[in-house]
Amino acid sequence: MGNANVIKQALLALEPTEGCWLTLASPAVAETVAHCGFDWLVVDMEHAPNDIGNLVAQLQAIDAARVHGASSSAVVRVTSNDPALVKRAMDCGVQTVIFPNIDNVEEAQRAIASMRFPSNGNGGTRGVAGLVRAGNYGQDPGFVAMANDQVCAVLQIESAEGLKNVEAIAALPGADCLFIGTADMAASLGHLGDTGHAAVREAVAAVIAACQIANKAVGIFAGSPDEAAAYRKQGVQFIALHSDVAWLARGARQARAQFKALL
Protein backbone atom coordinates (compact mmCIF):
# COMPACT_ATOMS: atom_id res chain seq x y z
CA MET A 1 0.00 0.00 0.00
CA GLY A 2 3.01 2.29 0.45
CA ASN A 3 3.54 2.85 -3.26
CA ALA A 4 4.27 6.27 -4.70
CA ASN A 5 1.07 8.26 -5.22
CA VAL A 6 0.95 8.78 -8.98
CA ILE A 7 -2.14 10.96 -8.69
CA LYS A 8 -0.32 13.37 -6.42
CA GLN A 9 2.68 13.39 -8.73
CA ALA A 10 0.45 14.32 -11.67
CA LEU A 11 -1.37 17.04 -9.72
CA LEU A 12 1.84 18.64 -8.49
CA ALA A 13 3.21 18.59 -12.04
CA LEU A 14 -0.08 20.07 -13.34
CA GLU A 15 -0.41 17.14 -15.72
CA PRO A 16 -3.86 16.39 -17.19
CA THR A 17 -5.63 13.23 -16.01
CA GLU A 18 -9.13 11.86 -16.26
CA GLY A 19 -11.24 9.52 -14.18
CA CYS A 20 -14.78 8.77 -13.17
CA TRP A 21 -17.09 8.40 -10.18
CA LEU A 22 -18.00 4.97 -8.76
CA THR A 23 -21.47 5.24 -7.26
CA LEU A 24 -22.95 1.74 -7.56
CA ALA A 25 -21.11 0.24 -4.56
CA SER A 26 -20.07 -2.70 -6.72
CA PRO A 27 -16.59 -4.29 -6.71
CA ALA A 28 -17.38 -5.90 -10.07
CA VAL A 29 -18.21 -2.52 -11.59
CA ALA A 30 -15.07 -1.00 -10.05
CA GLU A 31 -12.91 -3.76 -11.52
CA THR A 32 -14.59 -3.47 -14.92
CA VAL A 33 -14.16 0.29 -15.14
CA ALA A 34 -10.56 -0.01 -13.93
CA HIS A 35 -9.83 -1.86 -17.17
CA CYS A 36 -11.15 1.06 -19.26
CA GLY A 37 -8.00 3.16 -19.16
CA PHE A 38 -8.87 5.85 -16.62
CA ASP A 39 -6.12 7.39 -14.52
CA TRP A 40 -8.25 7.33 -11.36
CA LEU A 41 -11.58 6.15 -10.00
CA VAL A 42 -13.44 7.90 -7.18
CA VAL A 43 -15.28 5.71 -4.69
CA ASP A 44 -17.96 8.15 -3.58
CA MET A 45 -19.00 7.96 0.06
CA GLU A 46 -20.87 11.27 0.07
CA HIS A 47 -23.68 10.71 -2.44
CA ALA A 48 -23.56 6.94 -3.00
CA PRO A 49 -24.40 3.88 -0.85
CA ASN A 50 -20.76 3.07 -0.17
CA ASP A 51 -19.76 2.06 3.35
CA ILE A 52 -16.35 1.16 4.74
CA GLY A 53 -16.78 -2.53 3.91
CA ASN A 54 -17.50 -2.10 0.24
CA LEU A 55 -14.88 0.63 0.03
CA VAL A 56 -12.32 -2.05 0.88
CA ALA A 57 -13.87 -4.45 -1.62
CA GLN A 58 -13.67 -1.85 -4.40
CA LEU A 59 -10.08 -0.97 -3.51
CA GLN A 60 -9.22 -4.67 -3.74
CA ALA A 61 -11.00 -4.90 -7.10
CA ILE A 62 -9.10 -1.91 -8.49
CA ASP A 63 -5.83 -3.37 -7.22
CA ALA A 64 -6.70 -6.70 -8.85
CA ALA A 65 -7.21 -4.94 -12.17
CA ARG A 66 -3.80 -3.28 -11.82
CA VAL A 67 -2.19 -6.72 -11.45
CA HIS A 68 -3.59 -7.51 -14.90
CA GLY A 69 -2.29 -4.37 -16.55
CA ALA A 70 -4.85 -1.69 -15.67
CA SER A 71 -3.53 1.72 -14.67
CA SER A 72 -6.33 3.22 -12.59
CA SER A 73 -5.61 4.48 -9.08
CA ALA A 74 -8.24 4.71 -6.35
CA VAL A 75 -9.53 7.92 -4.78
CA VAL A 76 -12.22 8.28 -2.13
CA ARG A 77 -14.61 11.14 -1.52
CA VAL A 78 -15.44 11.07 2.17
CA THR A 79 -18.89 11.87 3.51
CA SER A 80 -17.72 15.02 5.26
CA ASN A 81 -14.62 16.78 6.52
CA ASP A 82 -14.46 14.52 9.59
CA PRO A 83 -11.03 13.27 10.75
CA ALA A 84 -12.56 10.01 11.98
CA LEU A 85 -13.95 9.23 8.52
CA VAL A 86 -10.71 10.24 6.84
CA LYS A 87 -8.68 8.02 9.16
CA ARG A 88 -10.84 4.98 8.42
CA ALA A 89 -10.69 5.49 4.67
CA MET A 90 -6.93 5.97 4.70
CA ASP A 91 -6.38 2.93 6.91
CA CYS A 92 -8.16 0.98 4.17
CA GLY A 93 -5.40 2.00 1.76
CA VAL A 94 -6.50 5.30 0.20
CA GLN A 95 -3.82 7.94 -0.36
CA THR A 96 -5.92 10.55 -2.18
CA VAL A 97 -9.02 11.98 -0.50
CA ILE A 98 -11.63 14.38 -1.89
CA PHE A 99 -13.14 16.59 0.83
CA PRO A 100 -16.61 18.03 0.13
CA ASN A 101 -17.80 21.49 1.10
CA ILE A 102 -14.58 23.31 2.00
CA ASP A 103 -15.64 26.88 2.70
CA ASN A 104 -12.65 28.54 4.37
CA VAL A 105 -8.99 28.25 5.31
CA GLU A 106 -9.72 26.69 8.70
CA GLU A 107 -11.74 23.87 7.15
CA ALA A 108 -9.06 23.30 4.53
CA GLN A 109 -6.33 23.14 7.17
CA ARG A 110 -8.39 20.65 9.17
CA ALA A 111 -8.75 18.43 6.10
CA ILE A 112 -5.05 18.57 5.28
CA ALA A 113 -4.06 17.82 8.89
CA SER A 114 -6.44 14.85 9.12
CA MET A 115 -4.46 13.02 6.42
CA ARG A 116 -1.10 13.26 8.17
CA PHE A 117 0.44 11.41 11.07
CA PRO A 118 1.84 13.90 13.65
CA SER A 119 5.54 14.47 12.94
CA ASN A 120 7.96 17.30 13.68
CA GLY A 121 5.25 19.82 14.41
CA ASN A 122 3.46 19.33 11.08
CA GLY A 123 0.04 19.72 12.70
CA GLY A 124 -1.06 16.25 11.63
CA THR A 125 -3.99 14.70 13.47
CA ARG A 126 -4.25 11.25 11.86
CA GLY A 127 -4.26 8.43 14.39
CA VAL A 128 -1.26 6.11 14.03
CA ALA A 129 -1.85 2.43 13.26
CA GLY A 130 0.28 -0.04 11.34
CA LEU A 131 -1.92 -3.14 11.53
CA VAL A 132 -4.17 -1.92 8.73
CA ARG A 133 -4.58 -2.59 5.03
CA ALA A 134 -2.69 0.60 4.19
CA GLY A 135 0.37 -0.87 5.94
CA ASN A 136 -0.06 -4.35 4.48
CA TYR A 137 -1.57 -5.42 7.80
CA GLY A 138 1.61 -4.69 9.73
CA GLN A 139 3.96 -6.22 7.16
CA ASP A 140 5.26 -2.96 5.69
CA PRO A 141 7.86 -1.69 8.17
CA GLY A 142 8.26 1.62 6.33
CA PHE A 143 4.58 2.47 6.09
CA VAL A 144 4.22 4.91 8.99
CA ALA A 145 7.48 6.73 8.18
CA MET A 146 6.64 7.20 4.50
CA ALA A 147 2.86 7.65 4.52
CA ASN A 148 2.81 11.43 4.98
CA ASP A 149 4.82 11.98 1.80
CA GLN A 150 2.20 10.25 -0.33
CA VAL A 151 -1.04 11.80 0.94
CA CYS A 152 -3.01 13.97 -1.47
CA ALA A 153 -5.80 16.37 -0.50
CA VAL A 154 -8.39 17.39 -3.10
CA LEU A 155 -10.57 20.15 -1.64
CA GLN A 156 -14.02 20.84 -3.08
CA ILE A 157 -15.05 24.44 -3.61
CA GLU A 158 -18.82 24.37 -4.01
CA SER A 159 -20.39 27.37 -2.28
CA ALA A 160 -20.43 31.15 -2.40
CA GLU A 161 -18.44 31.13 0.85
CA GLY A 162 -15.80 28.82 -0.58
CA LEU A 163 -15.61 30.95 -3.70
CA LYS A 164 -15.01 34.06 -1.58
CA ASN A 165 -12.06 32.34 0.14
CA VAL A 166 -10.73 30.41 -2.84
CA GLU A 167 -7.44 32.29 -3.25
CA ALA A 168 -6.47 31.78 0.39
CA ILE A 169 -7.45 28.10 0.24
CA ALA A 170 -5.49 27.53 -2.97
CA ALA A 171 -2.38 29.08 -1.41
CA LEU A 172 -2.26 26.59 1.47
CA PRO A 173 0.60 24.08 1.56
CA GLY A 174 -0.91 20.62 1.24
CA ALA A 175 -3.90 21.75 -0.82
CA ASP A 176 -2.93 19.63 -3.81
CA CYS A 177 -6.01 20.31 -5.94
CA LEU A 178 -9.20 22.35 -5.74
CA PHE A 179 -12.22 20.55 -7.16
CA ILE A 180 -15.18 22.63 -8.33
CA GLY A 181 -18.57 21.26 -7.32
CA THR A 182 -20.78 22.89 -9.94
CA ALA A 183 -24.12 21.47 -8.75
CA ASP A 184 -23.75 22.72 -5.18
CA MET A 185 -22.16 25.93 -6.42
CA ALA A 186 -25.21 26.59 -8.59
CA ALA A 187 -27.51 26.01 -5.61
CA SER A 188 -25.43 28.21 -3.33
CA LEU A 189 -25.50 31.03 -5.87
CA GLY A 190 -29.28 30.80 -6.16
CA HIS A 191 -29.49 28.79 -9.39
CA LEU A 192 -30.41 25.27 -8.24
CA GLY A 193 -30.19 22.79 -11.13
CA ASP A 194 -28.67 25.28 -13.56
CA THR A 195 -24.95 24.50 -13.70
CA GLY A 196 -24.71 26.34 -17.00
CA HIS A 197 -25.82 29.65 -15.53
CA ALA A 198 -23.50 32.60 -16.18
CA ALA A 199 -22.83 33.01 -12.46
CA VAL A 200 -21.69 29.39 -12.22
CA ARG A 201 -19.47 29.76 -15.27
CA GLU A 202 -17.94 32.85 -13.67
CA ALA A 203 -17.34 30.89 -10.45
CA VAL A 204 -15.60 28.12 -12.39
CA ALA A 205 -13.36 30.68 -14.08
CA ALA A 206 -12.56 32.30 -10.71
CA VAL A 207 -11.48 28.99 -9.17
CA ILE A 208 -9.33 28.17 -12.19
CA ALA A 209 -7.71 31.61 -11.96
CA ALA A 210 -7.01 31.22 -8.25
CA CYS A 211 -5.38 27.85 -8.87
CA GLN A 212 -3.25 29.26 -11.66
CA ILE A 213 -2.01 32.03 -9.38
CA ALA A 214 -1.15 29.48 -6.67
CA ASN A 215 0.30 26.99 -9.21
CA LYS A 216 -2.20 24.37 -8.06
CA ALA A 217 -4.23 21.84 -10.02
CA VAL A 218 -7.97 22.22 -10.43
CA GLY A 219 -10.59 19.52 -10.96
CA ILE A 220 -14.21 19.25 -12.05
CA PHE A 221 -16.99 16.76 -12.87
CA ALA A 222 -17.98 16.92 -16.53
CA GLY A 223 -21.47 16.15 -17.76
CA SER A 224 -20.32 15.07 -21.22
CA PRO A 225 -17.14 14.54 -23.27
CA ASP A 226 -17.74 17.89 -24.99
CA GLU A 227 -17.96 19.65 -21.62
CA ALA A 228 -14.84 17.83 -20.44
CA ALA A 229 -12.91 18.99 -23.50
CA ALA A 230 -14.04 22.57 -22.91
CA TYR A 231 -12.89 22.40 -19.28
CA ARG A 232 -9.52 21.02 -20.37
CA LYS A 233 -9.07 23.97 -22.72
CA GLN A 234 -9.85 26.28 -19.78
CA GLY A 235 -6.96 24.79 -17.84
CA VAL A 236 -8.61 22.07 -15.74
CA GLN A 237 -6.26 19.15 -15.11
CA PHE A 238 -8.28 16.68 -13.00
CA ILE A 239 -11.50 15.85 -14.90
CA ALA A 240 -14.17 13.28 -14.06
CA LEU A 241 -15.87 11.94 -17.19
CA HIS A 242 -19.11 11.30 -15.30
CA SER A 243 -19.96 8.02 -13.53
CA ASP A 244 -20.60 4.30 -13.65
CA VAL A 245 -24.34 4.73 -13.13
CA ALA A 246 -24.67 7.27 -15.95
CA TRP A 247 -22.93 4.99 -18.43
CA LEU A 248 -24.99 1.97 -17.39
CA ALA A 249 -28.25 3.86 -17.85
CA ARG A 250 -27.12 5.53 -21.07
CA GLY A 251 -25.91 2.29 -22.62
CA ALA A 252 -29.12 0.49 -21.72
CA ARG A 253 -31.29 3.25 -23.19
CA GLN A 254 -29.22 3.41 -26.38
CA ALA A 255 -29.32 -0.36 -26.92
CA ARG A 256 -33.09 -0.46 -26.46
CA ALA A 257 -33.61 2.52 -28.77
CA GLN A 258 -31.41 0.94 -31.45
CA PHE A 259 -33.30 -2.33 -31.17
CA LYS A 260 -36.68 -0.59 -31.49
CA ALA A 261 -35.45 1.33 -34.52
CA LEU A 262 -34.59 -1.92 -36.31
CA LEU A 263 -38.08 -3.41 -35.95
State the CB neighbour count (10 A cutoff) for residue 3. Answer: 11
Q: Which residues are catalytic?
A: 47
Q: What sections of the chain are H helices per DSSP? A: 6-12, 27-34, 52-67, 83-91, 105-114, 143-150, 160-164, 166-170, 182-188, 198-214, 225-234, 244-261
Find residue 19's DSSP bridge partners.
40, 240
- The H-or-E segment that residue 96 falls in is strand 96-99
Contacts of 178 (CB under 8 A, 6+ apart): 154, 155, 156, 157, 166, 169, 170, 207, 210, 211, 216, 217, 218, 219
